[in-house]
Amino acid sequence: MNTVGDAYWNPQAHMPTARSRRLVITRGEGIWLETSSGERLIDATSSLWHANIGHGRERLARAAYDQMTKLETYHTFGRTVNEPALQLADWLAAEAPMAGAKVMLTSGGSDSVDLACKLARRHWQLEGRPGKKLILSRHNGYHGLHAFGTSVAGLGYNREGYGADSLVPETARISTNDLAEVGRSVLQLGPENIAAIIAEPVIGTGGVVGPAEGYLEGLEALCRQHDILFIADEVITGFGRTGHMFASQRWGIVPDIVTMAKGITSGYAPLGGVLVAPRVADRFFTGPDAPIFRHGLTYSGHATACVVAMANLEVLAEESLVEEAGRLEAVLELMVKPLRDSELVVDVRAGAGFMAGVQLREEVDADRIIDACQASGVLIRTIHDNTLQICPPFICTDDDVAQIVDAIDGALTSYGGPR
């Protein structure tokens, strides 16, 4: 006889391990989580990078309830649309890092990346330059797991096992932070073949890697020089994680396309979107012969999700949480710095947003570190290169940040070597 939940297949999981170490989260309030076994834990990773305003906000639940009793949603294909989608799109366009942006809404980050890459290729077909099909992405970059996201992944293990190097053939990887090397790659591949470069301003899942000085600005200039579209993947960094509404604004870049999700609702509803600059969008809005972009999702502009997003954005503004994230960035950077002294640590990366990565030596059993942190009341996880991800909600206090770092420090100190 199967146990409760035996049928569930966890994403991105080695299932025998996931089932033997299953952790069931039953409740969340603020920065705190409760488990089915009664543990109370700090959410040190904002769930999957998205719980920016914390858990259990009744205001967002009531916003969803009120909208559902009025109109849960209605599709936005063709000429129909709902009011929350229109209102949210106007807000996003006003806050975008490029003037005059148009907005397409999706169900999440992977959807947004898929849309952005398709739109980039469609743009060049309409420009009469059909050879421009390549999408370039950074080594260690992560862009979701739809077909395009899998194909442009800078993490090789996410592209492997499908019978080809890339599900969508026309992709290639560029240097993570060496701008000169990127320039050489562009010339080698041929600018006439490249549709777009997609880049996270701060690489998230690939290890929390901030941009080298001048890298993002140089990447944008390189795209302008060679007539390549620049896609900023702000699925993680958007909506305050770097102390600005968008990380593009922090580093002074103006992308052609911006992908977003996660922090747009702080995880209270599945929603994503794409900001599109006039250079790409205008031709679809002008004249009787305007082309149609044949892309859409059943839940594009989902009315309830859009209302939840607006409530979330109001909380960010009313509580000055974007500014608070900027302040907490410095607090976290200072507190994690001593972790570099541990013989178990290869590197500590911080200072490019309210997040940090503590990279452990390859031979360190990260599960033991995670379990020790959990015993100290902190829930954490590992990402690429055996790296501990720290990415707390914006409502943390300095003492909360200290508790997270102290738990990691204690786990490193008590670690007895590989078993």
Would the pLDDT of 408 be above 60? yes
Question: Measured over all CA atoms, what is the biggest interatomic distance in the chain, rounded to whole angstroms?
Answer: 71
Q: What pLDDT band is residue 3 in, cutting at 50, 70 and 90?
A: low
Task: Compute the average pLDDT of residues 304-316.
Answer: 98
Q: Tokens in use for 374?
A: 């959990």
In a domain, 10, yes or no: no
In this structure, are 363 and 293 located in the same domain?
A: no
In this structure, are 36 and 150 located in the same domain?
A: no
Residue 273's SS3 state is: strand
Q: Tokens in use for 114?
A: 């898929």
Q: What is the mean pLDDT of the chain?
A: 97
Task: Report the distance separating Cα 345 and Cα 356, nearest Å.
Answer: 13
**What is the per-residue pLDDT for 5?**
81
Contact status, residue 298 vs residue 76, Cβ threshold 8 Å: no
In this structure, are 215 and 246 located in the same domain?
A: yes
Name the residue range of residue 333's domain. 15-53+320-414
Q: Residues, the chain, total?
A: 419
Would the pLDDT of 66 be above 70? yes
Contact status, residue 218 vs residue 251, Cβ threshold 8 Å: no
In this structure, are 327 and 293 located in the same domain?
A: no
In a domain, 328, yes or no: yes
In a domain, 193, yes or no: yes
In a domain, 419, yes or no: no
In a domain, 8, yes or no: no
Sheet holding 257-260, edge to edge: 102-106, 272-276, 257-260, 229-233, 194-199, 134-138, 171-174
- Strand ranges inside 148-190, DSSP E: 171-174
Q: What pLDDT band is residue 417 in, cutting at 50, 70 and 90?
A: low
Would the pLDDT of 329 be above 90? yes
**What is the per-residue pLDDT for 4?**
76
Task: Report the distance separating Cα 383 and Cα 357, nearest Å.
Answer: 9
In this structure, are 189 and 332 located in the same domain?
A: no
Task: Report the distance separating Cα 135 and Cα 228, nearest Å.
Answer: 10
In this structure, are 158 and 276 located in the same domain?
A: yes
Q: What pLDDT band is residue 343 in, cutting at 50, 70 and 90?
A: very high
In this structure, are 37 and 97 located in the same domain?
A: no
Q: What are the tens digits of pLDDT across the range 135-162?
A: 999 999 999 999 999 999 999 999 999 9
Task: Compute the average pLDDT of residues 28-33.
Answer: 98
Of 268, 300, 318, the residue at which a domain comes to its end is 318
In a domain, 3, yes or no: no
Task: Report the distance separating Cα 386 and Cα 382, nearest Å.
Answer: 6
In a domain, 226, yes or no: yes
In this structure, are 120 and 172 located in the same domain?
A: yes
In this structure, are 282 and 161 located in the same domain?
A: yes
Task: Compute the average pLDDT of residues 88-117.
Answer: 98
- Tell me what percent of the residues of the chain surpass a pLDDT of 90: 98
Q: Tokens in use for 338?
A: 């001593």
- Tell me what percent of the residues of the chain surpass a pLDDT of 70: 99
Query: The CATH number of the domain where 32 resides is what?
Result: 3.90.1150.10
**What is the per-residue pLDDT for 418?**
47
Task: Compute the average pLDDT of residues 283-302.
Answer: 96
Of 296, 318, 340, the residue at which a domain comes to its end is 318
Of 284, 318, 352, the residue at which a domain comes to its end is 318
Q: What are the tens digits of pLDDT across the range 231-287?
A: 999 999 999 999 999 999 999 999 999 999 999 999 999 999 999 999 999 999 999
User: What is the total count of domains within the chain?
Assistant: 2
Contact status, residue 98 vs residue 277, Cβ threshold 8 Å: yes
Task: Report the distance separating Cα 384 and Cα 357, nearest Å.
Answer: 10
Would the pLDDT of 82 be above 50? yes
Q: What are the tens digits of pLDDT across the range 345-402?
A: 999 999 999 999 999 999 999 999 999 999 999 999 999 999 999 999 999 999 999 9
In this structure, are 303 and 155 located in the same domain?
A: yes
In this structure, are 92 and 181 located in the same domain?
A: yes
Q: What are the tens digits of pLDDT across the range 212-224?
A: 999 999 999 999 9
In this structure, are 314 and 325 located in the same domain?
A: no
Query: The CATH number of the domain where 300 resides is what?
Result: 3.40.640.10
Question: What pTM was computed for the model?
Answer: 0.97
**What is the per-residue pLDDT for 2?**
53
In a domain, 36, yes or no: yes
**What is the per-residue pLDDT for 416?**
72
